[in-house]
A and B are shown apart, each in its own frame.
Chain A
Amino acid sequence: MRELPPGLFELPRASKVQGAFESARLTQARVRAGKNKADLAREVGVSAAAIGQYESGVNAPRADVLDRLAEALGVRPDFFAVGRPIARIDAVNAHFRSLRSARVSDRQRALATAALLWELTFTLERYVRLPDANLPQIKARMSPSDGAALLRMHWGLADGPVKHLVATAEAHGVVIAVRPLGEIDAVDAFSAIIVDRPIVVTTPRRSENVFRHRFSIAHEIGHLLLHSDSDGHSATVEKEADEFAAAFLTPAASMDVALPQRLDIAALDRLGRTWGVSPHSLVRRMVERGRTTESSARRAYQRLSAVADPTADPTRSYPGEVPTLLRKAAELAADYGVGAPALAEAMKISPGLVRDLLGEKDERPSLRLVSGNR
C-alpha cells in the first residue's frame, strides 16, 4: 500500500519509529543549520545513510547519538521529541524572491526558519490572541491589478497611499519577520501560508530602504493572494507579484493623475515620498501608463543609480513599517508570566533562539568559566 504524502500540519501522534523521536524535527534542525547529511553524519560520528534513515523515520538514533545530534544542531535533545505540532517544510508552498540564486538547500533552510516562526506564533497563541488572518478569496485567473483593488477594498483602505503597510498587514494577521542575512540571504525574501497563517520573511537587504521594503512586502502579499495554490518557482508569478505590488501601492487611476508629464526625477522623488515608493518604481509606472518610453526609462534608471544613496530612508525610521506583531505578543505573554524561557521550554529550543526569532538582540553578557589556578 502506498504511503500517503506528508501533511502540512502534523499533530502529536504516535512515533513512526521507536521511542519518541520525531524524524521531521531532525530535518528541520539540520536544514536550518545549513548542514547536509554527510556533514552532520561526520560531526556526529555516524554514516550519512544513518542520518537519512533517521529523517525518513526508518530508524531512530540511540540516546547518545541524539545528544550529539542536538549539540551539533544547536537545539535541545528534547527538541526531537514527538508531542508538539510541526509544520513540515516538505509540504509548505512558498514563493522565493531570488529565483536564480536560490538553491534547494537555501530554500529549505528558509522554510525551516518560516516553520519555526510559525511554531513560535502557534505557541504564543496559546497565551495571546493574535489578529486572525484576513486575506480575501481571489477568484481563479484574477488579474494582479484586480487582486490589488480587491485587497484595498477588503482591508478598507482609502484612496491614496497605503499608510504604514507593515502595521496594516500585521493588523490583518500577516506575520512579518526580518531575518538576518546569513539565514535567508540566498532567497532574499519569501512568503508562505502555514496552517492558515500567512508569513512573510524578508532580509535587511530588502528592508534597508523603506521604499524597497514596502514594495517587497507588497510583492509577497501578492504571492499570498494570487499564488497560494502554486509552487511559485517561475518568472511569471514573480512578474504578477510585481504587478500586484505596483497596483496595490500606486493604483493606476491615482497615478494617471499624479504622475508628471515627463521624466522629472525631482518630481518623482517628491511623489514617491508621498506614496511610499521609490522613484524607480514610479519610472516603471510611467512606462506602464504610457507616459514615457522604455529607452527614456533606462536613462532615468541610470541617472537614479548615479545619485542613489542606499543608506537614505532606512526602514527603522518609519515605525509603521517595522514588524511588531510577534514582539507585542511576546511582551503580553511575558506580562502574564510566560517569558522567553517558558516559550523556549514549550518549543524545546533555547531562550536565545526565541529572542532571536522575536527580533530581539540578546544583550546579556556572555559568561564563561575561568580557571582558578592563576
Chain B
Amino acid sequence: MVPVSPPAALGLHTSDVRELVVAAVTSRHTRFAEAHEVSGSRYAMGFGSQWLDLLVDVHDELRRRGYRTYRLPPAGYKLPVVNDCLVYVWRVPGSADAPSSFASSPTRVNVFHAPPLDPTLFEPGYTGEPEPGSSADVDGADLERVVRAATDSVMPLVLVMVRSTPRQLQSITWAVAELDEDAGTVNFHGQESIWTPEAVVANPTTDVEPFDSGTPQGPTVEPQEQEGSEPDA
C-alpha cells in the first residue's frame, strides 16, 4: 500500500527529516553555486555534479542520527531508511517531463523494488515524542510500522526533488513516488513544497530605511542652572 503523502510515509519523523533535508540541500547548493562563480565556467556540468553529494549528504546526516541504510543496487548508493521508507534526493533535470522520468536507469528503477529492512520494534531518530494532546501514539505508530513492514513487499519511496541553477536554488518539493511498471513513468502522491525562495529573495532593502537616512538626533546639551560662568564659581 503506497502512503498518500510524505507525512503519511514518514510519520512522526516528518518535520525533522524535512528540516534536515532542506538544510543539507541549501548548504550543498551554496557551495556548488560558489564554486561555479569562482570557476567562471560557461557550462553547468560541474554544478550538476552535485547530485551524488546530495545523496551522500542527506544519507550521512540521517545516518548520524541513527537511521538505517539501504544500499541500492547495482550502483550501490546508500539511501537512508526512515520509518521503513526510502528517502532519495534528486536534482531534477530541466526538461518539462523530467519528474515522471525519474526511473531512467536500472539503479533508479530498483529504488521501487527495495525490500523492507528487518523490522525493529523502535524506529531510531532524534525525536519520536508526540505533541502533548496529540492523537499520535508512539506505541501504536511503531506497531503499525512493524505490521506494514511485515506485509509490504517493498519500501515506499519519498522522493525529494530539487530544482536549481547556478544562479538560484529554485525549489525543493517532495512526494511519495510510485512506479508505473507498464508505462515506465513515475506517479507522485501528496506532492508538496518544503522550501521556496520567495521568503528570502524579495529585495531585503526596499522596506528598510538605511542607517544614514534622516537627520541625526545627536546629544542635547543645556546650560547648568546652578552654576556661574566663572571657572571657579
Contact = CB atoms under 8 A, between A and B. Distances in A.
User: Do A and B interact?
Assistant: yes
B73 interface: no
Given A292-B30, A293-B31, A338-B231, A163 B224 contact: no
A72 interface: no
B209 A161 contact: yes
Contacts of B211: 161-165, 214, 274-276
Contact of B27 (A171, A290, A328): A290
Contacts of B214: 163-164
Contacts of B221: 128-131, 325, 328-329, 332
Given A161-B210, A345-B231, A320 B216 contact: yes
B97 interface: no
Contact of A127 (B26, B205, B224): B224
Contact of B219 (A270, A274, A292, A328): A328
A341 to B, nearest CB: 9
Interface stretch (B59-67, B104-112, B114-122, B193-201): B193-201
A328 B218 contact: yes
Given A167-B218, A274-B210, A318-B212, A128 B223 contact: yes
A262 B33 contact: yes
B232 A299 contact: no
A327 to B, nearest CB: 10
Interface in B110-146: none
A296 interface: yes
B26 A261 contact: yes
A17 interface: no
A338 B233 CA distance: 11
B225 to A, nearest CB: 8
Nearest to A169: B219
Contacts, number: 139
A262 B34 contact: yes
B208 interface: yes
A171 B223 contact: no
Given A126-B227, A127-B229, A346-B232, A271 B222 contact: no
Contacts of B37: 263
B13 interface: no
Contacts of A343: 231
A293 B205 CA distance: 24
B30 A127 contact: no
A318 B217 CA distance: 13
Interface string B44-58: 000000000000000
A193 to B, nearest CB: 17
Given A161-B211, A292-B30, A319 B169 contact: no
Contacts of B230: 338, 342
Contacts of B200: 257, 259-261
A296 B34 contact: yes
B200 to A, nearest CB: 6
A338 B229 CA distance: 6
Given A273-B210, A293-B31, A336 B218 contact: no
A270 B208 CA distance: 12
B87 to A, nearest CB: 21
Contacts of A160: 208-209
A73 B227 CA distance: 32
Contacts of A173: 219
Contact of A129 (B23, B210, B224): B224
B204 interface: yes
Contacts of A59: none
A329 B230 CA distance: 16
A170 interface: yes
Query: Which one of B218, B224, B230 has the greatest number of beta carbons of chain A within 10 Å?
Result: B218
Interface string A224-242: 0000000000000000000
Interface of A: 125-131, 160-165, 167-168, 170-171, 173, 214, 257-263, 270-271, 273-276, 290-293, 296, 299, 318-321, 324-325, 328-329, 332, 336-338, 342-343, 345-346
9 contacts: A128-B223, A164-B216, A171-B218, A262-B29, A271-B204, A276-B210, A292-B31, A299-B38, A336-B229
The 3 lowest CB-CB distance pairs between A and B, nearest first, are: A276-B211, A320-B216, A258-B204
